[in-house]
């Protein structure tokens, strides 16, 4: 009977050397090593500096960037809190903010709420414990006390996309009203007359409220141009596919021969509408038209291509980080509001298809 082969356990990672071990190896004090690390070799003799340098190389010692930053009173960390990291909008804003931070010598720390507004205070406290110097918040905005806590700690805050009630802070966002007008005008021009605005739950989330209010306003303002135009709102919740299916059926029923169209409030909702169309066996342009907020990488490849309102997400993230870094450098101005325009990208989902002949 042959012996079983010996299974070798993976080697444990080597323990990180400490400054005390470097000092012991070099035969000097920790203060001497600290002087060397902080590039104050002029306070050391060449012989001692060489001993410290050799000890650092022998132990593969590397100082903790965080510890060094805190000694200087600066962490050069910026906290970014997002409501839902699975939302393509949040990821795109993150990329823009990260690039701006990197160019300015800052690092970004991300906290994802998972759409749970109860965690907003937890996020602020956790990132504060890491000594972040300021916050970029793309949260639901339902916990006004959370952002106020950050301000009370003397840390500047920039809000992205969603406002916080009564909070005075720099705010960077899409021009929601203008973007909704683009979408409705496009559907009107294509001949759609029975419209449905589909959104995640609206109450308490400023961007959703602004878009829905703009939708109702545009419907009213368009009465002279299109007297047969009607519009309704449906709030879609995760997991309620039956509710969305029924809302789309009702939309077609109300249309009574007129063209029905949908405006979806973000990419998450757009995917839900796409899934509902598949369940119902409908085609874009035939049974209903669609304009969705957020131009994702997959938008051109679904069905005939999805018509979208593209947000300048990279620029939103870059501007938010830029505003915060200006505050960190001492800029003292009243809170600023920066609204950027959306861009409509027309594709097949909003092009009416002629009925097939029997």
* CB atoms inside a 10 Å sphere around CB 358: 3
CA contacts within 13 A on the Cβ side of 164: 26
Whether 77-174+314-340 and 176-311+343-350 share one fold: the answer is: yes
Q: Shortest CA distance to 257 belongs to which of 191, 302, 201, 308?
A: 191
Q: Mean of the per-residue pLDDT values for the chain?
A: 88
pTM of the predicted model over 0.85: no
At 85-138, the pLDDT tens digits run 888 999 999 999 999 999 999 999 999 998 887 888 888 888 888 889 999 999
Tokens of 93: 């804003």
Residue-wise DSSP of 332-354: --S--EEEE--EEE--GGGSPPP
Ranges 72-81, 213-222, 275-284: which has the least confidence: 72-81
Q: Shortest CA distance to 82 belongs to which of 106, 101, 110?
A: 110
CA contacts within 13 A on the Cβ side of 116: 9
- What are the beta bridge partners of residue 235? 199
- What are the beta bridge partners of residue 194? 230, 260
| Secondary element (H or E) of residue 190 | helix 176-190
Whether 281 shows a pLDDT value over 80: the answer reads: yes
CB 155 within 8 A of CB 128: yes
How far is residue 218 from each of residues 184, 231, 263, 302, measured CA to CA in Å? 7, 9, 13, 28
CB 164 within 8 A of CB 137: yes
Torsion of CA 324, 330, 333, 335, to 10 degrees: 20
* Residue carrying structure tokens 């409509």: 344
CB 342 within 8 A of CB 179: yes
* DSSP 3-state of 42: helix
Q: Give the rounded percent of residues in the chain with a pLDDT score beyond 90.
A: 59
What residues does each domain of the chain span? Answer: 19-63, 77-174+314-340, 176-311+343-350
Instruction: Please state the CATH superfamily assignment of the domain spanning residues 77-174+314-340 in this structure.
Output: Response regulator (3.40.50.2300)
What is the structure's pLDDT at 164? Answer: 82
Q: Tally helices (H) and strands (E) across the chain.
A: 12, 12
Q: Check if CATH label 3.40.50.2300 holds for domain 176-311+343-350.
A: yes
At 218-238, the pLDDT tens digits run 999 998 888 999 999 999 999
| Secondary element (H or E) of residue 185 | helix 176-190
If you average pLDDT over residues 241-254, what whole number do you get? Answer: 97
What is the structure's pLDDT at 40? Answer: 64
Ranges 73-77, 201-205, 333-337, 338-342: which has the least confidence: 73-77
At 312-321, the pLDDT tens digits run 999 999 999 9
CB 335 within 8 A of CB 170: yes
Tokens of 287: 């049974």
Ranges 38-47, 241-250, 305-314: which has the least confidence: 38-47
As to burial, measured by CB atoms within 10 angstroms (0-12 exposed, 13-18 middle, 19+ buried), residue 74 is middle
* DSSP 3-state of 270: helix
* CB atoms inside a 10 Å sphere around CB 304: 16
CB 291 within 8 A of CB 186: yes
How big is the CA angle at 312 (ends 352 and 211), to the nearest 5 degrees? Answer: 60
């Amino acid at each position: 009977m042959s012996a079983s082969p010996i299974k070798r356990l993976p080697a444990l990672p080597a323990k990180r050397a400490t400054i005390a071990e470097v000092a012991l190896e070099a035969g000097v004090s920790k203060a001497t090593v600290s002087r060397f690390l902080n590039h104050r070799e002029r306070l050391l003799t060449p012989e001692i500096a060489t001993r410290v340098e050799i000890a650092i190389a022998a132990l593969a010692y590397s100082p903790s960037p965080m510890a060094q930053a805190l000694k200087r009173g600066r962490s050069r960390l910026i906290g970014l809190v997002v409501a839902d990291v699975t939302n393509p909008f949040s990821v795109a804003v993150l990329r823009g903010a990260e690039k701006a931070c990197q160019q300015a010598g800052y690092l970004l720390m991300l906290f994802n709420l998972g759409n749970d507004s109860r965690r907003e205070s937890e996020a602020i406290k956790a990132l504060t414990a890491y000594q972040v110097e300021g916050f970029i918040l793309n949260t639901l905005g339902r916990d006004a006390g959370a952002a106020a806590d950050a301000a009370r700690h003397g840390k500047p805050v920039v809000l992205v996309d969603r406002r916080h009630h009564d909070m005075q802070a720099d705010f960077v966002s899409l021009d929601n009203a203008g973007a909704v007008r683009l979408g409705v005008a496009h559907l009107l021009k294509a001949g759609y007359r029975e419209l449905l605005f589909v959104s995640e739950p609206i109450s308490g989330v400023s961007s959703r409220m602004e878009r829905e209010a703009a939708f109702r306003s545009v419907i009213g303002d368009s009465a002279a141009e299109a007297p047969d135009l009607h519009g309704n709102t449906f709030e879609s919740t995760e997991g309620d596919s039956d509710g969305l299916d029924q809302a789309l059926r009702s939309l077609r029923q109300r249309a009574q021969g007129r063209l029905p169209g949908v405006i979806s409030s973000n990419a998450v909702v757009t995917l839900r509408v796409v899934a509902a169309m598949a369940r119902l066996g409908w085609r874009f342009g035939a049974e209903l038209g669609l304009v969705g907020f957020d131009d994702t990488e997959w938008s051109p490849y679904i069905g005939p291509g999805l018509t979208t309102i593209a947000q300048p997400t990279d620029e939103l993230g870059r501007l938010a980080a830029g505003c915060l870094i200006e505050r960190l450098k001492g800029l003292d101005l009243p809170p600023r509001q920066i609204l950027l325009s959306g861009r409509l990208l027309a594709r097949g989902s909003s092009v009416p298809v002629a009925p097939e002949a029997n």
